[in-house]
Chains A and B, each alone.
Chain A
Amino acid sequence: MTGEAVLDARLCVRRGDFELDADLRVGSGQVLALLGPNGAGKSTALRALAGLEPLSGGHVRVDGRDETTTPVERRPIGVVFQDYLLFPHMSALDNVAFGPRCRGLSKAEARARAAELLDGMGLAEHARARPRQLSGGQAQRVALARALAARPRLLLLDEPMAALDAGTRVDVRAGLRRRLEEFDGATVLVTHDPLDAMVLADRIAVVEGGRIVQQGTPAKVARRPRTPYAARLVGLNLFRGTAEGTEVRLADGGRVRVHEAHRGTVLVAFPPRAVALHRERPQGSPRNVWRLRVDSVERFGDQVRVHLSGQPPLAADISPAALAELGLSPGEAVWASVKAAEADCYPA
């Protein structure tokens, strides 16, 4: 991260058995995505940043100012909520003008600023529309405009794509990305969809069980996930083990041969398409060969994904033709191989 962080927060929230403990730092113009399964605590983190959830410890600093105990309505924040929560009894324009009004602008000034923002979002002709007359994508843009209207330093987005249908997501996501790039404050985005995180964020923090288990650029998280959840999200086979040279003894049994030598606790990752399946034991170049059992077979894009159990449990992507040739059905034994060069090994 470069320069002074706009957001510098340590969030501790305890609620019953659940405990969130997360350090977040986001620089100017940066977008941090909190990626994690349901119940991981990412929405709690967002609410804590907004002041909607009381902290049991830690701090929230924005532009170096301590906002830990600032009431919600006086924090320099803007929030885009999951269902957008546009006020149903107000026009789009009044929704956007709401924040500036509350921050002391006159009605005319607030409306002028709102109109300008809506114009910038390409929504000028929908200014008078009620929220229920807007499409999902339009509503999202109004919600974004509303959140930005009071000129926040910290923008919080809670599952901004969740309310949209699959067909419109691609366009809306691209539009949102463009607008986030124009925002010079810090943005924290909560999502459970890795694609959103990859496209929208500069950095991803993977949240599981109230902790940040991995943090890095989307490319790094995608290539070298550190938990099974993250690996599954980005579609990789991931194993933890102990390396001795180019051989890794896996924690759950089995061995994997890798290309580069390591020592100590490591993670090994390789994509399902790097896995080849055979009826007969394969011979030849240095590779990993395992005798595994077919669990299930499912369609995956134009490939077929075969889930295998044994040591180690794997997912393999093969072509439908290959599947037909192999004649695999659940319960059958099969040989699986992965070239050592395809298995990425990195310290845990």
Chain B
Amino acid sequence: MRGRAAGARHRDRGLRVRPGRAPWILLLPAFAGAAFLVLPLAGLLVRAPWPDMARRVTEPEVLSALWLSLWTATAATVLSLLLGVPLAWLLARTEFPGRRIVRALVTVPLVVPPVVGGVALLFVLGRNGLLGQYLHAWFGIGIPFTPAAVVLAQTFVAMPFLVVGVEGALRAADRRYEEAAATLGAGRATVFARVTLPAVLPGVGAGAVLCWARALGEFGATVTFAGNFPGTTRTMPLAVYTAMQSDPEAALVLSLLLLGVSLAVLAALREKWAFVR
């Protein structure tokens, strides 16, 4: 997108009135901001033990943590979509008493430290939790220390990103199309599935990507609620933190691997979207 715009400007040079120079009062902080975000990353790259890299990223523990991270983050995103899109619809398209309160509560996980979120999940779904005790007593199901707990912790922390994004998209969408669909005989469910959802699909996609990225980087709620055991609950961020305790270089390798994989996935998705759009 940006590349195309730049190319167009290049071709038109000479025909177009050039905009004034970007003012330094914007440029300076802009560069500072970019540097602030990019430099730590550069630090990681500089300090990484490159000759050792290939061997270290293919160690079984690393690969199992990576695989766990990828599939749990994806599962958390799917779960967030299944629950979050209808929730966003409810918040954007209906009026019910307490809607504002529900809306505020939904965004709480954005504000609360994830560790607290993890503790809260323990209080509800833990073995002695409000619901967890019945799951344990009646079905013998224990959620903590399982990959399911990882998915739940990630969903708790990441779903608000999706809900907020999709709700915004729904509010911005032209509701007249929904009216048009209704005049054609479509009930609300049909309107949602065939008109509303396609219209906000880019917003849903963007929300899902944000949700996935947040789930992938989730640490606090996961380590608190799901624990930390290789292969079942030690996702990449937990592996990074654990490695940090004894071998900072290993933590660096893990971080770069996580970064590389997530960037690759996001870039692939972007390509696909650019095509669809």
Contacts and interface: CB of A to CB of B under 8 A. Distances in A.
A73 B176 contact: no
B248 interface: no
A102 interface: yes
B183 A50 contact: yes
A27 interface: no
Contacts of B187: 73, 102
Contacts of A147: 183-184
A297 interface: no
B184 A146 contact: yes
B67 interface: no
Contact of A85 (B176, B185, B190, B194): B176
A79 B180 CA distance: 7
Contacts of B186: 73, 98, 102
B61 interface: no
B198 A89 contact: yes
Contacts of A88: 199
Contacts of B195: 87
A77 interface: yes
B247 interface: no
Given A73-B187, A150-B185, A85 B199 contact: no
A51 B183 CA distance: 8
Q: What range describes how many residues of B lie at the interface?
A: 10 to 19
A65 interface: no
Interface in B4-41: none
B204 to A, nearest CB: 13
A134 interface: no
Contact of A81 (B176, B194, B198, B199): B176
B199 A150 contact: no
A75 B177 CA distance: 17
A52 interface: yes
Given A52-B179, A79-B180, A85-B177, A103 B185 contact: yes
A72 interface: yes
A110 to B, nearest CB: 11
Contacts of A73: 182-187
B184 A102 contact: yes
Contacts of A103: 185
Main secondary structure of the interface of B (DSSP, over half): helix
A98 B182 contact: no
A241 interface: no
Contact of B182 (A52, A78, A89, A146): A52
A77 B194 contact: no
B181 interface: yes
Interface string A94-107: 00001100110000
Q: What range describes how many residues of A lie at the interface?
A: 20 to 34
Contacts of B182: 52, 71-73
A78 B183 contact: yes
A147 B183 CA distance: 8
A174 B60 CA distance: 75
Interface in B167-200: 174, 176-177, 179-187, 190, 194-195, 198-199
A150 B198 contact: no
Interface in B190-239: 190, 194-195, 198-199
Nearest to B197: A89
Contacts of B183: 50-52, 72-73, 75, 77-79, 147
Nearest to A89: B198
A15 interface: no
A146 B186 CA distance: 13
Contacts of A51: 183
Contacts of A79: 180, 183
A87 B177 contact: yes
Given A87-B195, A89-B198, A89-B199, A102 B177 contact: no
Given A73-B182, A77-B183, A102 B190 contact: yes
Nearest to A52: B179
Nearest to A84: B180
B177 A74 contact: no
B275 to A, nearest CB: 15
A287 B198 CA distance: 68
A70 to B, nearest CB: 12
Contacts of B180: 79, 81, 85, 87
Contacts of B194: 87, 98
Interface in A49-75: 50-52, 71-75
Interface string A7-33: 000000000000000000000000000
Interface in B131-190: 174, 176-177, 179-187, 190
Given A99-B184, A150-B184, 12 more contacts: A50-B179, A72-B182, A73-B186, A75-B183, A81-B180, A87-B181, A98-B184, A102-B184, A102-B185, A102-B186, A102-B190, A149-B184
Q: Closest 7 interchain pairs by CB?
A: A102-B185, A99-B184, A72-B182, A85-B180, A79-B183, A89-B198, A102-B186
10 contacts: A51-B183, A72-B182, A73-B185, A78-B183, A79-B183, A87-B181, A98-B194, A102-B190, A103-B185, A149-B184
